[in-house]
Structure 1
Amino acid sequence: MKNLILVILLLNVSIVLSQEQKEIPLKKSQFGFAQLDFLSVKMPDPEEKNMTLTGIHYNVMLNKYSYAGVGLYGAVSGERGGFFGLGINAGIKQNITNHLFVDAGLHFGGGGGALTPDGGGAYIIPHANLGYHFKPFDVTLGYSYINFFDYGKIKSHQFNAAIQIPLSFDYADFTENGNDYSIEGLKETAWNQPSNRFGLFVHFDNLSFDENSQFKQNTTIRLAGFEIQSYFRKNWFYFIKADGAYSGIPSGYMDVFVGPGYHLSMNKNRTNILAKFGVGAGGGGGVDTKGGFLINPDISLEQKVLKNIYLTVNKGFMLNFDKSFNASTFGFGLKYLEDINGISSEGNTKATAEFKGVEVIIAEEIYFNVQRMYGKHTQNMNQISVEFNFFLNKNIYAAGQTSFANFGNAGAYAEGTVGLGVETNRFFDETTTVFAQILGGAAGGGDINTGEGFVIKPSTGLNFKVSDKLNLHAAVGYVKTHGGDLNNTFVNFGINYNFSLLSAR
């Protein structure tokens, strides 16, 4: 018995020593920038006003001069409120002097709007700009061209202007996902820095229209949405959110907002009041927002119900400048809040910190034999999709996905879905993972009958490692609507960009 006790003690000591000797991962930095750009597009009908598109992008620097990323466009003036596009970016930024630089690149995506001559939805926007470095941001101006080349009629040459804001982040390799390290050990490394608060928010809003609004509906429009919040000061944050209608009107309505917010905590940080002001674009589904530009002031109350999870209720307004679209919003949601990439945060009493995995998946998705409403025929439909996965632990993740049709004569079809997934540990010599997920949300447009807009998408697939940050991605699944004709199998293929963030909350 004494020998057995001695062996157990020795094993415990060896485990403790091995944990203490576990090498803390190197803190790496990914340089990048956010961009807001504007272009005024000439429409095929000479009697129609130009459509002004505003783009929101995030690009990572691949090296000192080249970049790649994703971007979302929305109409903010003209006659095409509800026009949206989603795509991928690639380009170069090369300095000429200390202040002047050239920026040339290409955006490829899919999108459209109701009654817009967008064909299948596929488009390209090449640009060539001259930029100037200011201290906190860059400004560029130059030439761009837009072409809806899959049987669309929108082809336009125009000037474009952009504001670029440096936005980098620290990370560790994705292999650190789920690994714990002691706070004491991290204090001796570059991870010993103030953390940044980061929130993921799933919400449901009810949209009710003012009696003076030109848009009349006897029923409340119900929206489902996904929001990302990132804090740049103790109480100040910026956010981006997207909503889609899933009940109350024919499918197709969508909106996207960005803006600042202020966070006030009380009750030992268990209760929060948030005030936000969003600007963005919206429309579709028979909802006339004129040119598409909307503002969205909002106030919400959050109450902590579980570790890192808050229940929220919100009240706000959504309107355009002339109040022809004027609605109030009331909703609720669930929010997941983390302090990331540092070990010093208010109220942190944890002895360990954990790395949380993040995946950004850009894929081309194919729906097979999709029924059309008016032609009464079936045809394959392609869409470009971007999915964001945040790992709650080593194997379970929360997911948000948006996608827009780009081939198959369904321009203006779009989806916004959220859900949960599970992913295995790596096998086959640490190269392969298998995942399964289920997403649900809103979809519509493009002559595709999705009923009032609610869809559910279970799928399974695999990721194959090609570098520390990149994987090849493939999946197969099924999409089903409530009350619509879209009930089809699908496949997608793409690239999975992944990394880990340190959480000390």
Structure 2
Amino acid sequence: MSDFLRPRRFAWLGLPSLLAGLGLAACDAAWAQAQDPLVSTPAQIKLGIEKVQLPGDEKMGLVGTTYLVDVGHGFHVGPAAYGAISGQRGGLFTVGVEGGWQRRLAGPLALDLGFYAGGGGGGAAPVGGGLMLRPHADLLWDFGPFLAGLSWSQVRFANGDINSRQLGLVWSARSDFRFVPSDRVGERSAMGGRSGMGFDRLHAVFGAYEPRPGARRNSGGELASTIAFVGTRVERALGDHVYWGLEAGGAASGGVAGYAEYLGTLGTETTVWPGVLTLGGRVALGMGGGGDVGVGGGLLMKAGVYGTLRLTRELGLTLEGGYTRAPQGSFRALHTAASLNWILDDPSDITAPARSIRSEWVGGVERYPAQRNDGSRRMLQAVTLKANRFVTRHVYLSGQAHSAYGGGAGGYTAGLFGAGVQFPVFGPVHAGAEALIGAAGGGGVATQGGAIMQPGAYVGVDLGRSLSLRVGAGKIKSLRAKGLDANVVDVALAFTFGIAGHGNR
């Protein structure tokens, strides 16, 4: 059994401590029955696939993934991402927000109406500034734990040449979004199992691809240089040895700025030295492309083996080696990666004090004058999605995705992670600052290989119990000379909540 997947501390405490822990848990449950701050609302994880028509009668397979939270009266809202998976436009991605309304028609038959808006592009597709709009109507059959059916949608890039109407397939799994309101974060709770989006482990990944002979660029040249990449991966246990997860990454060097990937992963692992060493393997399937990498339609596959050395009970260092390929294109590469992994909610540990950890979802827009590869400097507008998790009362870790929707930079995307601090100022006003690094490229923006940094600061004001408005300013800069270097302004809405965990004690 893996250290990550096994119940925590049982082997150390023995039967007497286990029984004591169960007794305390029973007492806490009785206390919390009337006072537990936990709130649970329905949620769904949605997956769709459709074939979009581009100019010139070109076809492109498009996959969408969405996480939707019920906000009452049949309405739901959440983050979403869409990307090419077949055709000739591998590397086309967009990220944004989707909202919808669902109603049961008769028996197990239901109707879902929704609208997505996001930014991105890539794959040399005619996306203009990058703003993608997708209204849809889904006819679903309720199978109990999930719904499945047909979808009618329109995919339109507002400033580009793509405007397609099509039928597709959609599948939606039911879940729960369990959280603590922001004004009760830190209180004791008898919450059992997972909360938030339900992931157990987070990786910050640094790696490299070594292209194999025959790997080529879309433009026809040989792809021979080493590609450094950065990314993140989140994972959730399915049993004693098996887990699933999601990963995203992008090129930071290697002359392929704009290359990005987004995959689902399935893995297995076991502990060979308790508390010290874990060995495992995993496979992943998803979308990749951009940066003049020959991925064909965008389908990407990878497999790897790894070892994890535990540094502390919550932190570990993972080293992985494996093979990545794009079956519809020429891209083939050996990959190596190192990641710092952090065990998050640890829902199986019933002996630790059950506290809620403050978390935030932040969505907004930013604007700055971006240096372009053609030497010009023009204003760029991008949509931003951020996830913040506090490790102390005032310090948090952040993972972010930024994608252009205006300014003639369709296809520009940045993935960033780093740390921030946040403090109350007076009354409903708070202030914060953060320092981020990551990878960016595409859209003709001069990121000089892809590696960037983005420090900034913001001021926020509470609009209600968990919602706040924030205005910020900062700087975005390529880590190489003569690249992107601009002052940034942004505005965002932040949703603050608590999730189960044992870190912020």
Note closer, same or farther for the CA distance 1:358–1:326 as it changes in structure 2 (3 Å cut). Answer: same
Listed as ranges, the matches of 1:51-200 within 5 Å are 51-150=60-159, 152-177=160-185, 179=186, 181=188, 189=190, 191-192=191-192, 198-200=200-202
User: Given the alignment of the two structures, is residue 257 of structure 1 paired with residue 263 of structure 2, yes or no?
Assistant: yes
Distance 1:193 1:130, change over 3 A: closer
Indicate conservation of the 8 Å contact 1:114/1:445, yes or no: no
1:289 partner letter: V
TM-score normalised by length of structure 1 = 0.87
Deviation at 1:469, TM superposition (A): 2.7
In the TM superposition, 1:300-449 aligns within 5 A as 300-321=306-327, 324-340=330-346, 342=347, 344-345=348-349, 349-350=351-352, 352-367=353-368, 369-374=369-374, 376-424=375-423, 426-429=424-427, 431-449=428-446
Measure the CA separation in 1 of the matches of 2:111 and 2:284: 31
Structure 1 411/301 Cα, relative in aligned 2: closer, same or farther at 3 Å? same
State whether residues 450 and 481 of structure 1, in contact with CA within 8 Å, keep that contact through their aligned partners in structure 2. yes
- Contact 1:95/1:102, CA 8 A, preserved across alignment: yes
Distance 1:321 1:145, change over 3 A: same
Query: How far apart in 1 are the matches of 2:278 and 2:498?
Result: 27
How many residue pairs align between the two structures? 465
Q: Is 1:38 aligned to 2:74, yes or no?
A: no
**How far apart in 1 are the matches of 2:49 and 2:199?**
30
2:458 is the counterpart of 1:464: no
Corresponding residue for residue 11 of structure 1: none
RMSD of aligned residue pairs (Cα, Å): 2.1
Contact 1:114 1:446 in 2 (8 A): no
One-letter code aligned to 2:372: R
Distance in 2 (alpha carbons) for counterparts of 1:64 and 1:263 = 42
Among residues 177, 198, 203, which one is paired with 1:201 in the alignment?
Answer: 203
The aligned amino acid for 2:39 is K
**Amino acid in the other structure paired with 1:497:** F
- Mapped to 1, the partners of 2:194 and 2:81 lie a distance apart of 31
Q: Which residue of 1 aligns with 2:479?
A: 482
Within 2, Cα distance between the matches of 1:240 and 1:194?
A: 17
Q: Secondary structure at the match of 2:354?
A: strand
Alpha-carbon distance in 2 for matches of 1:473, 1:235: 42
Secondary structure at the residue paired with 1:175?
Answer: helix
CA distance, structure 2, for counterparts of residue 243 and residue 192 of structure 1: 32
Q: Which AA in structure 2 matches 1:396? A: V
Aligned to 1:167, the other structure's residue is in SS state strand
Q: Could you tell me whether the CA contact under 8 Å between 2:206 and 2:337 is conserved in 1? A: yes
Whole-Å separation in 2 of the counterparts to 1:64 and 1:139:
21
Report if the CA contact (8 A) 2:215-2:224 is conserved: no
Query: Could you say which residue in structure 2 is the equivalent of 1:10?
Result: none
Give distance in 2, aligned partners of 1:418 and 1:325. Answer: 27
Structure 2: any 5+ residue segments left out of the alignment?
Answer: 1-30
Residues 229-288 of structure 1, C-alpha deviations (whole Å, 9 max, x = no match): 122434332211111101112311111111322232343343222322211111111101
> 1:50-74 deviations in whole A, cap 9, x for unaligned?
0111011101011141111111111
Give 3-state SS (helix, strand or coil) of 1:111's partner. Answer: strand
Q: Is the CA contact 2:37–2:184 (under 8 Å) kept in the aligned structure 1?
A: no
- Show the counterpart of 2:18: none
For 2:183, what is the secondary structure of its paired residue? helix
Change over 3 Å in CA distance of 1:113–1:479 after alignment to 2: same
User: Which residue does the alignment assign to 1:218?
Assistant: 224
Secondary structure of the equivalent of 1:172? strand
Letter of the 2:202 counterpart: L
Partner amino acid for 2:432? F
Query: Which runs of 5 or more residues in structure 1 are unaligned?
Result: 1-20
After superposition, where does 1:228-239 map in structure 2 within 5 Å? 228-239=234-245
Using the TM superposition, give the Cα deviation of residue 349 of structure 1 relative to its aligned residue in structure 2, in angstroms: 4.9
Gap change, CA 1:235 and 1:172, over 3 Å in 2: farther
Kept in 2, the 8 Å contact 1:131–1:141? The answer is: yes
TM-score, with structure 2 as normaliser: 0.87
Could you tell me how far apart the structure 1 residues matched to 2:377 and 2:212 are?
40
Bigger-Rg structure (1/2): 1
Write out per-residue CA displacement over residues 430-467 of structure 1, whole angstroms, 9 at most, x where no aligned residue: x2221110010100111111101110000110232222
Quickly say closer, same or farther: Cα 1:286–1:65, change in 2 above 3 A. same
Shift of 1:197: 6.3
Identical columns (%) = 26
Asked whether the equivalents of residues 172 and 500 of structure 1 are also in contact (C-alpha less than 8 Å), the reply is: yes
